[in-house]
């Protein structure tokens, strides 16, 4: 569970109770973008956590349950005794209705997609917020609906604040208690005035001050790091990915030379990646980085192994061994820094409760040996990825690092199918580099969420001039995704693919053929192994 810090910028804060909607994290990100701190907890969190959190307002998210069904999720009763404003969104509105004496049942017509609502009764929440007026001067709003159940009877003390033709009670309010419900989703960008509505709730109704700003967050993080670490030494495994890079720059700002980074070159990095990390951090930013050149050790450990999971385990174990060796050479380290971010914390909380959506979490290189007993420094553990990027940018990290596609911990090790050979790594590095270069040249890199090349250890026949070739195959993969749980293969232009393929076959002598992966996830995964 996220730590509940009471520093000034988190003094006014919103609690979001997660009923398992795919949009819940989006609510939290919107509230933070508005400038107010919030945390997300599973809906069935123990009441004392809610009391201890002491929120200025509570938002109940949407969720997949059918309100009223046996065992369907309910908001903890304690929230109705705290005397704070509550906003229920979609399922959150329905359960609030039922728990407070109203009714909800299946809609005659389920609504998924755009809807136009009419605001009613000049509520505190929606008053003067509109996209357009109808001929009678009523405010209309374009919103995003996604529900098959709706509120059919208002609880006592509540009045109607929004309706559509299909959904007569699309919003309600109890103005005395400051309880509100919206059947539509203000957190998604399709609801044009969504941010205004959320801002109205958190600033005017919950009376939160906007203190969650980039400058304040950085100042607060630096102060917390200094307080935690004092004059002791901190060790950080720097991978060159977004999170560990931002941790490095933050710690460097806070404690300078007390930070020692270890960068393990496992021989499975992309072309020039090792020297780029060293240049950026060591040469340009003055961060103390030890480079462990362990390529041969990794290749030896991996020799002849072809099973993907076994390769992952070997790479993870080898990383720990090398990191451990380097750590033991440095005297007097008390802390280990990690790039845990808020979604990782939410995942573990969700996994603990079992009900809220659990996202795959197999990816962190974990498990340092017990004799490396360090206290953890996790400065990013309350931040979303976009906040981490903004902070990194403000602290001067290059865009190339901050906006890079995700790269798996085992690196090219899971992009060379079957046993890994140094020769295969060289071929893949060059092919991947051509693909990345061209994506960047054609401004396509930021249009896809992850792209890479895969080495296929099969040989295929080709012709070059009069010569027959019998060489390896490279697969290109590019996907569009929001959460990496599902993904659609990216519709990259044919001419672009043609150009990349020609370059790879012409410039890399051991490649005879290039293929493009047109598999979605599911059923395929994003990586090939």
Please indicate whether residue 403 is annotated as part of the active site.
no
Q: Give the residue, chosen from 252, 312, 415, 513, that forms a contact with ligand XMP under the rule CB under 6 A.
A: 312
Query: What is the phi/psi pair of residue 397, to 5°?
Result: -80, 145
User: Nearest distance from residue 239's CB to ligand XMP, in Å?
Assistant: 9
Task: Return the residues of window 450-479 that contact ligand XMP according to CB under 6 A.
Answer: 450
Helix, strand, coil tally for the chain in percent (to 5) = 35, 25, 40
Which residues does 373 contact at the CB level (< 8 Å), separation at least 6?
Answer: none
User: Nearest distance from residue 517's CB to ligand XMP, in Å?
Assistant: 12
Please indicate whether residue 90 is annotated as part of the active site.
yes
Q: Given 185, 199, 252, 261, which residue is catalytic?
A: 185
Span near ligand XMP by CB under 6 A; candidates 54-62, 268-276, 320-328, 520-528: 520-528
User: How far apart are the C-alpha atoms of 129 and 213, rounded to whole Å?
Assistant: 25
Q: Does 517 bind ligand XMP (CB under 6 A)?
A: no
CA-wise closest residue to 327 among 234, 226, 460, 201: 234
Q: Given 39, 111, 150, 187, which residue is catalytic?
A: 187
Binding-site string for ligand XMP from residue 331 to residue 370, where x marks contact by CB under 6 A and - marks none: --------------------------------x-------
Do the beta carbons of residue 93 and residue 75 sit within 8 Å? no
User: Nearest distance from residue 452's CB to ligand XMP, in Å?
Assistant: 8
Do the beta carbons of residue 61 and residue 24 sit within 8 Å? yes
Binding-site string for ligand XMP from residue 198 to residue 227, where x marks contact by CB under 6 A and - marks none: ------------------------------
User: Nearest distance from residue 358's CB to ligand XMP, in Å?
Assistant: 14
User: Nearest distance from residue 364's CB to ligand XMP, in Å?
Assistant: 7
Q: Give the residue, chosen from 484, 503, 515, 516, that forms a contact with ligand XMP under the rule CB under 6 A.
A: 484
User: How far apart are the C-alpha atoms of 522 and 470, rounded to whole Å?
Assistant: 33
User: How far apart are the C-alpha atoms of 20 and 18, rounded to whole Å?
Assistant: 5
Nearer to ligand XMP, 162 or 487 (CB): 487
User: Nearest distance from residue 345's CB to ligand XMP, in Å?
Assistant: 17
Do the beta carbons of residue 61 and residue 29 sit within 8 Å? no
Q: Give the residue, chosen from 232, 447, 459, 521, that forms a contact with ligand XMP under the rule CB under 6 A.
A: 521
Which residues does 42 contact at the CB level (< 8 Å), separation at least 6?
Answer: 17, 18, 349, 350, 352, 353, 355, 356
Q: List active site positions.
A: 90, 185, 187
């Amino acid at each position: 569970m996220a730590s509940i810090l009471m520093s000034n910028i988190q003094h006014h804060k919103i609690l979001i109770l997660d009923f398992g909607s795919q949009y819940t994290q989006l609510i939290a990100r919107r509230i933070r973008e508005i400038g107010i701190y919030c945390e997300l907890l599973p809906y069935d969190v123990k009441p004392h956590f809610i009391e201890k959190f002491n929120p200025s307002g509570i938002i109940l998210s949407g969720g997949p349950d059918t309100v009223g069904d046996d065992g369907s999720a309910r908001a903890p009763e304690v929230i109705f005794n705290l005397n704070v404003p509550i906003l229920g969104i979609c399922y959150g509105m329905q359960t609030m209705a039922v728990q407070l004496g109203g009714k909800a049942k299946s809609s005659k017509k389920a609504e998924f997609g755009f809807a136009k609502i009419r605001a009613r009764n000049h509520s505190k929440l929606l008053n003067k917020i509109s996209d357009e007026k109808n001929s009678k001067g009523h405010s209309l709003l374009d919103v995003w609906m996604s529900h098959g159940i709706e509120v059919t009877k208002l609880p006592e003390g509540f009045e109607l604040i929004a309706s559509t033709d299909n959904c007569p009670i699309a919003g309600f309010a109890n103005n005395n208690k400051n309880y509100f419900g919206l059947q539509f989703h203000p957190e998604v960008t399709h609801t044009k005035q969504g941010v205004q509505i959320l801002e109205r709730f958190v600033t005017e109704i919950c009376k939160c001050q906007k203190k969650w700003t980039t400058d304040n967050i950085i100042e607060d993080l630096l102060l917390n790091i200094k307080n935690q670490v004092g004059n002791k030494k901190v060790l950080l495994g720097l991978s060159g990915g977004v999170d560990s890079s931002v941790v490095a720059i933050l710690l460097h700002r806070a404690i300078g030379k007390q930070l020692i980074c270890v960068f393990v070159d496992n021989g499975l990095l992309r072309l020039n990646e090792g020297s780029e990390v060293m240049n950026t951090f060591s040469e340009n930013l003055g961060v103390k980085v030890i480079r462990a050149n362990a390529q041969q050790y990794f290749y030896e450990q991996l020799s002849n192994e072809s099973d993907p999971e076994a390769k992952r385990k070997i790479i993870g174990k080898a990383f720990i061994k090398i990191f451990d060796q380097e750590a033991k050479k440095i005297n007097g380290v008390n802390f280990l820094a990690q790039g845990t971010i808020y979604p990782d914390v939410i995942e573990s909380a969700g996994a603990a409760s079992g009900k809220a959506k659990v996202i795959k979490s197999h990816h962190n290189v974990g498990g340092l040996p017990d004799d490396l007993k360090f206290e953890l420094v996790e400065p990013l553990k309350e931040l979303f990825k976009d906040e981490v990027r903004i902070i990194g940018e403000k602290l001067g990290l290059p865009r190339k690092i901050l906006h890079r596609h995700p790269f798996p911990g085992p690196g090219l090790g899971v992009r060379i199918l079957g046993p890994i050979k140094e020769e295969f790594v060289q071929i893949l590095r060059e092919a991947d580099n051509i693909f990345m270069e061209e994506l960047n040249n054609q401004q396509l890199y930021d249009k896809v969420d992850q792209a890479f090349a895969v080495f296929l250890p099969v040989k295929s026949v080709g012709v070059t001039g009069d010569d027959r070739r019998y060489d390896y195959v490279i697969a290109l993969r590019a996907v569009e995704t929001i959460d990496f749980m599902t993904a659609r293969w990216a519709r990259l232009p044919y001419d672009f693919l043609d150009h990349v393929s020609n370059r790879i076959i012409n410039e890399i002598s051991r490649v005879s053929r290039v293929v493009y992966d047109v598999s979605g996830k599911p059923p395929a995964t994003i990586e090939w192994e």
